[in-house]
Chain A
């Protein structure tokens, strides 16, 4: 069972368009992270959201954490081909004495020139 569900799974858009991807859970998270991963590379941390209702902006990317801390969204304005990649959301969970990250399955974004 996936704790974090991401949608859509695939998204292909033209350069200049806007888009939103979603990360949803039935569980409350203390924080959520968004990563971007390119083929053959490891995930690169984009942002961490911590407070319910929090909005963070990173250039053309806007991240929001839901009020109940169960969901998050990533909005990209005027997408560019360089935004192409796999976008992953992740949240920390405890397992014994370990603090691990659980990931969603990701949204594969392709921005066409």
Chain B
């Protein structure tokens, strides 16, 4: 079975631009969460989606948005990019209500210049 897949793996953007990151969960997993991991830190929670609805949001500005599609895949959008948005963006899928069974993708490395 395929694990969580994310695309692209690497991305370089300029300040002020917009970016869309994509995630396909493990088959059968209906919950998708997004995390931001800055170098030297643990991942920080951004969003959780289940059944196409936002179930939770971390302490991130409104420039960050996401959505989930009927096939449970998800997109994370970040507008008006700042240098500080440079990070590894991780997607995790799990059965709903079971974050301890979360499985992570390889991440998208975003560099803002």
List B contacts of A92 (CB < 8 A). 99-100
- Chain A nearest Cβ from B18, distance in angstroms: 24
Q: Is B40 an interface residue (CB 8 A)?
A: yes
List B contacts of A97 (CB < 8 A). 55-56
Stretch among A61-69, A74-82, A101-109 lining the B interface: A101-109
Q: For the complex, would chain A's binding face be called helix, strand, loop or mixed by DSSP majority?
A: strand
Q: How many pairs of residues, A versus B, come closer than 8 Å at their CB atoms?
A: 72
Partner of A42, one of B41, B57, B97, B105: B105
A71 to B44, CA, bound (A): 20
Structural contact, B33 and A41, CB atoms closer than 8 A:
no
Centre residue among A90, A97, A100, A105 by max chain B CB count within 10 A: A100
Q: Is A98 an interface residue (CB 8 A)?
A: yes
Q: Is B76 an interface residue (CB 8 A)?
A: no
Q: Is B109 an interface residue (CB 8 A)?
A: yes
- Chain A nearest Cβ from B42, distance in angstroms: 3
Q: Is B26 an interface residue (CB 8 A)?
A: no
Q: Which residues of B, 19-63, contact A by the 8 Å Cβ criterion? A: 33, 35, 40-45, 48, 55-58
Interface residues on A, range: 20 to 34
Q: Is B4 an interface residue (CB 8 A)?
A: yes
Structural contact, B42 and A48, CB atoms closer than 8 A:
no
Structural contact, A98 and B56, CB atoms closer than 8 A:
yes
Q: Is A31 an interface residue (CB 8 A)?
A: yes
Structural contact, A106 and B42, CB atoms closer than 8 A:
yes
Partner of B33, one of A33, A40, A100, A106: A100
* A-B pairs with beta carbons under 8 Å apart, 11 shown: A42-B104, A88-B42, A90-B42, A95-B45, A98-B57, A99-B99, A100-B56, A101-B33, A102-B45, A104-B42, A105-B40
- Taking beta carbons and an 8 Å cutoff, which residues of A are in contact with B? 4, 6, 31, 33, 35, 40-45, 48, 88, 90, 92, 95-106
